[in-house]
Amino acid sequence: MRQNEAQDDVLVPLMENLLDSFEPLHRLSGSEEAERAVDILIEQLHVMGLSPVRHRCPLWLSDPLMGSLVLPDVPAWQGQAKTRSFSASRPEGVEGPLFYDVRCLQAIPDLEVSAWETSVRGKIVIADQGFEDYVQRLNRAGALGLVHIWGSAEQALHEETVGPIWGTPVPDDQPLYPTIPVISVNHQQGQLLLEILRQHSDPIMAVLRTELNEHVADCSLPVVDIPGEIDEFVLLSCHYDSWHEGMTDNATGNALCLAAAAHFHRLQPQLKRGLRIAWWPGHSNARYGGSTWFADRYRRILQQQCVAHINVDSPGCLGASEVVVNASGAENLLFLNRAIRKITGKDARRIAPLGKGGDQSFWNCGIPLHFAFREEPETRTSQSPGSGGGWWWHTEADTRDKVDSALLWRDCQIHLHWLSELLTETALPVDPIACLIQMQEELDNLKLSLDPRFDLTSLRETLVAIEQQIRALEGVWTEEREQSIKVAVGLWHRVRYSSTDDFHYDRSYHGGAYPGLQILRGYQQATTSPHAFLMATTQFYRQRDRAIFLLQQSQALLR
C-alpha cells in the first residue's frame, strides 16, 4: 500500500514553493496581486497535469483604507485605528461626544431598549465589542459611530468586517449596510481612551474618520475536478484572498489544498468518488462572496452530487499544537478522530459544532457532511479567532515566520486521511443518531432561555420520532436507504443551521443552533412591549412550523 501513502518528498516542497510564491502578494480580492496568486495556482495545477477551470465572479467588495480618531481638546491622544470592511466610508469625518457603552455586551430587554438608544444617540460610542449585530443596533439607535476596543493585549491592530449580509446582497439587503463609521483600536489605547473619559466630567468631543473603497470587481475562482468512478464528489475548499501577506490565513490552507490535488491526482484510478477543490475569493472583503456565488451558480450539482464539504482555513500555524474539529454533527466521530489519531497519536482536543463563518455557504444545498479542521495553542493568550489563535491573525504580521512547516505537514496528512476514506469507502461516515441527539440537546438548551409561551414540545417530539424511526432501521441498511439518510441529514442541517429557504442566506450574525428560533431569546413577555412580543410570536410560529415541515419530509423519506 506504499503507493497510497502521502509522499512528503513531493508534497512538502510543493507546499513550501506555494508559500514562497504567495509571500510577496497582498491578496485582497479585487487586487492585481490576488489575481496573480490565481495565475500561480492555475499554473501549478497545469504542471501536475490537471485541468483547472478559472471561474470569474463579480463581487461587491469593501476594502478598508483608513480609520482615525482625533480628540481636538486632548491633543495628547494619538491613537492608531483601523476601520472595518463594510463600515460606512466617512472621509469627511463625523464629530460628536464620546460615550462608553458599559452595556454593550449585555442583552437589553425590549422595554429598556428605548432608554439605551437615547444613551447612544448622537454619540461616538466606545465599546468592548464590534460585532455586526451590535453595529446594526447602534445604527438604528442613531449613534454617530463606533470605536471598538480590542479585547486582548496584543499591540497589533486586526482587520475585520461588520458586513451584515452573507455574500453578495440582493436589493432588499441594501438598507442593512451600516451608515455609521466603525473603527477599532488596540486594548492599551482603548484603556487610555477610557482613562481620558474618566478624567473629564464634561463630554469629550471627537472626530472619527473612515475611508473605504467600495467597488464591484471580477474575481477569479479556480476549481479543479479530479473525477471518481461515480458522480458523487467531495468539495474541499479554502479562501485564497487574505489581509496583507496572510501566510497562515490562508496561504497555508491554499498550499494544503494544492498538495491534496497532487496526491489524489496520482491516486485517481482508485477513487470511487471525485474530489473537487475550490479556492474562494471574497472571504475577507466580500463576506464569503466567492463561496456564495459558487452555491448560487452550482446549487443543482451540489444538491445532487456533493456528499461532503471540508473547509480549510489556517492550518500550519506557529504554536498551534492542539487539533480541534468543527463539524456539523452528522459525522461519525470515529471517522473524524481516526485520521487525527493516526498522525498525532491522540484524539482531537475538541469536536464542536460549526460556527458562523468560514465560507459555510452550503447549508441549504443538502450536503450531509460539513467539517473544518481548526487548531489552537495549548493556552490561548489572544482573542484571535483565526490563525490557530495567534495574535498576528488579520494583521501585517501574518508573515512566513508564523508558519510551522512541521505542523502544516501534520495538518496536510490529517486531511489526506479524511479524504482518502471519503473518496474510496463505499459507505459515508454519517452518524444520523448522533446528529439527532445533538439536535435534541440544543433544543433543550434553547428552551431554557425562551419565554414558556414559545413551546418547542412538538418540534422535540418530531426529533424523537425520527430517532426511533432510524433506530428501527438499524441492521437493515440498503444502498437506497443510505441515499435516503443522506437526503434526510441535509434536511436536518437546514433546520439546525439555517432559518431561510434554499435560495437565500441568513444574516451573517444569526448563528447558533436553530438560528430562526435563537432570535427569540431576547423576548420575554414580562420585559417586552406588546408590539415586539407579537412580532416574536409570529417569528416563533413560522420558524417552528418550518422546522417541523422539513423534519416531516425526512420522516417520509425514511419510511
> Cβ of residue 372: shortest distance to Zn ion, in angstroms?
10
CB distance 88 to 181 below 8 Å: yes
Residue with smaller CB distance to Zn ion, 27 or 123? 27
Describe the crossing of helices 432-448 and 457-473 by its angle, rounded to 10 degrees: 170
Q: In the 8-state DSSP scheme, what is residue 385?
A: S
CB closer to Zn ion, 331 vs 359: 359
User: Nearer to Zn ion by C-beta: 85 or 250?
Assistant: 250
**For Zn ion, which is the closer residue by CB, 274 or 388?**
388
Of 239 and 276, the one with the shorter C-beta distance to Zn ion is 239
Please tell me the distance from the alpha carbon of residue 532 to that of residue 113, in angstroms, as a whole number.
11
Min separation Cβ 22 and Zn ion, Å? 14
Q: Which residues contact 73 (CB under 8 A, 6 or more apart)?
A: 204, 205
Helical H runs in 350-456?
A: 405-424, 432-448
Query: Can you tell me the distance from the alpha carbon of 261 to that of 237, in angstroms, rounded to the nearest whole number?
Result: 11
Q: What is the identity of the amino acid at 277?
A: I
- Enumerate binding residues for Zn ion (CB under 5 A): 249-250, 313
Closer residue to Zn ion in complex, CB, 110/132: 132
Instruction: Quote the least distance from Cβ 409 to Zn ion, whole Å.
Output: 20
Q: How far is the CB of 391 from Zn ion (least distance, A)?
A: 15
The CB-of-386 to Zn ion minimum distance in angstroms stands at: 5
CA 144 to CA 32: how far, in whole Å?
35
The residue length of the chain stands at 559
Rounded CA-CA distance 402/452 in Å is: 50
Longest dimension (CA), the chain: 77
Instruction: Give the bridge partners for 62, in sequence order.
Output: 214
Report residue 198 CA to chain centroid gap. 37
Nearest to Zn ion of 169, 253 (CB atom):
253
Contact 104, 218 (CB under 8 A): no
Q: How far apart are CA 262 and CA 467, in angstroms?
A: 41
Cβ 18 to Zn ion shortest distance, Å = 16
CB of 285 to Zn ion, least distance (A): 12
Question: 56 near 218, Cβ under 8 Å?
Answer: yes
Closer residue to Zn ion, CB minimum distance, 59 or 513: 59
Give me the residues paired with residue 60 across strands: 216
State in angstroms the smallest separation of the CB of 241 from Zn ion.
9
